Structure 1
Amino acid sequence: MMDFRYPIGQFTHEGEVTLAHRQQWIQDVADLPKRAREAVEGLNEEQLSLPYRDGGWMLKQVIHHMADSHMNSVIRFKLALTEDTPTIRPYFEERWAELSDSKDMGVEVSLHLLDALHRRWSALLYALTDEDYAKAFYHPASKETMRLDHCLGLYAWHGKHHVAQITSLRDRLGI
């Protein structure tokens, strides 16, 4: 039976991150706003308020979460590019998802935010060098030092993961 939390599985990548990996992942980042918009296209407010699984976030919370998460990621990338292995600031994504802007606001504002944010992020990602992608930040919650090339793969997966949560619910409900 499918794990509705992870309809495309969890992110895994072993070994070196190649140029081909990076190019695909940058394309995935660039394509996310369009895929997110398509995932919720035609849904009404009642449908956007459905949880993607029992105990899960509403579809609109998933869209708002992607905007929140990817804003944080862009900032983390920029910190790593401009500082020597900075310690980033973690946040409680589950608490952010419970704030009124995530629970009550329509998705259009976050879809617009994703459009603009991903345009800028993609432009930055295409311009980075191999040396840039080897830069890293320290994540105090996981106690890991994370390289930007690996983070790129993680966020390419992250967008696809959340879009699949929405589209898999639509498929299950026929909406």
Structure 2
Amino acid sequence: MDSVELEKLKYPIGQHHEQTYFSEEDIQHWIRDISSFPEQLEQITASLTEEQLEYLHRPDGWTVRQLVHHCADSHMNALMRSKLALTEHKPVVTTYDEVKWAKLNDSMAADISSSLEILHGIHQRWTMLLDNLNEAQLKRTFYHPGQRREVSLGGVIDHYSWHGKHHLAHIRQALEYKGDFEREYIL
């Protein structure tokens, strides 16, 4: 598999490109994406077997199980960072090594139902929080030391709209290829 094919598998909907300007309509669209993500994830994983949960989304990638648990981990952090940005002046957020987290026992072996429950609760609260932000609050920021930059709440909303779709596409990809990347595929 060449580097172009691997890039398509890594970013099936394309890489995220943060918008520097966004309208109220953009924000509302992204919040709807965030709000609907847990239900979409639950639908795509509802009838998966244990074998299917172990399908990889790309060579050397994560399993479907790891992807679901990663989304819970990532979105928990995003909600916390959003709340910090709203309640503190440019807080420095804690980073975490998502690759190492994905290799922990709970990500490797736990039933996905726990992460689906977490996501439903987080997204219900997160959507309520986001739906009530004013223009000034959307500009509030936190400092992300791993990215070495300030991130606005508008940017967080943009990113997590993409993030959910990105990982849903990974799961579809894993199911389509049955986790088998040893043979040639037409992408």
> CA contact under 8 A between 2:64 and 2:174: conserved in structure 1?
no
Structure 1 residue 123 displacement after superposition = 0.5
Identity of aligned residues (%): 38
Moved more, 97-106 or 2-11: 2-11
Q: Distance in 2 between the 1:61 and 1:10 partners?
A: 20
> TM-score, normalising length from structure 2?
0.89
The residue number in structure 2 matching 1:76 is 81
> TM-score, normalising length from structure 1?
0.95
4+ residue runs over 6 A deviation:
none
The residue number in structure 2 matching 1:60 is 65
Q: Distance in 1 between the 2:20 and 2:147 partners?
A: 20
Moved more, 97-106 or 10-19: 10-19
Count of equivalent residues: 174
Amino acid of the structure 2 residue aligned with 1:130: E
Moved more, 125-134 or 37-46: 37-46
The residue number in structure 2 matching 1:47 is 52
CA RMSD of superposed structures (Å): 1.3
Structure 1 residue 53 displacement after superposition = 1.1
Question: Cα distance 1:173–1:98, how it changes in 2: closer, same or farther (>3 A)?
Answer: closer
Q: Distance in 2 between the 1:137 and 1:159 partners?
A: 21
Residue 103 (str. 1) matches residue 79 (str. 2): no
5+ residue gaps, structure 2: 180-187
Amino acid of the structure 2 residue aligned with 1:134: K
* Matching residue within 152, 159, 164 for 2:164: 159
The residue number in structure 1 matching 2:8 is 3
Amino acid of the structure 2 residue aligned with 1:144: R
5+ residue gaps, structure 1: none
The residue number in structure 2 matching 1:121 is 126
